[in-house]
Amino acid sequence: MDTTTTTLRWGLLLMMKYPEIQKKVQEEIDQVIGSNPPRTEHRTKMPYTDAVVHEIQRFANILPLNLPHETTMDVTIKGYFIPKGTYVIPLLNSVLQDKTQWEKPGSFYPEHFLNSEGKFVKKDAFMPFSAGRRICAGETLAKMELFLFFTSLLQRFTFQPPPGVSSSDLDLSPTTRFVVAPVPYKVCAVSRS
């Protein structure tokens, strides 16, 4: 739950920071599901919202070091010999911020996951759940939860900074913990009804 909660905290902060993106998500929610409860099958009909959720995960990179893996056999990668039994810690930041894989790696840019027709595009370099055979066992559940929670929140509320704070003043600095969270912030949830 900590990873899902942290990702949603990043998502709300990013929606306050980029209100034009929040508005586009809400327009898609209104068009596709209206006031009905969101369901997992809506995700394929909501490419922009799906792209925003993926970009939140890429941008926030809440587990940059991930968990250690162990090689099950001797392997040579790019000329480096790694013997069986070696612990390997995937540095996901090296992929999620790779300039050869992302048009704007240091920016929050949902278009990373959209083609020229606005359709969702899966990217091989998107791996916030780690890599290899030991990928996070909860990936499917987490993706479903993130979509449903994020969509439900933006269906009902518009998220804004508190009075006297502009979106440009919001701090996107991460905290330094095992799970990378945003610095604490205040939010105003304004009902959309």
For CA atoms 92, 93, 97, 99, give the dihedral sign.
Answer: negative
Cα angle, residue 192 at apex, residues 167 and 143 outer, rounded to 5°: 75
Instruction: Give CA–CA dist 29/135, Å, rounded.
Output: 30
As a whole number of angstroms, the distance between CA 149 and CA 49 comes to 12
Please check if 188 is assigned to a binding site: no
C-alpha 44 chain-centroid distance:
17
Would you say 146 and 4 are in contact if contact means Cβ atoms under 8 Å apart? yes
Binding site membership: which residues?
Answer: 136
Binding site membership for heme: which residues?
Answer: 136
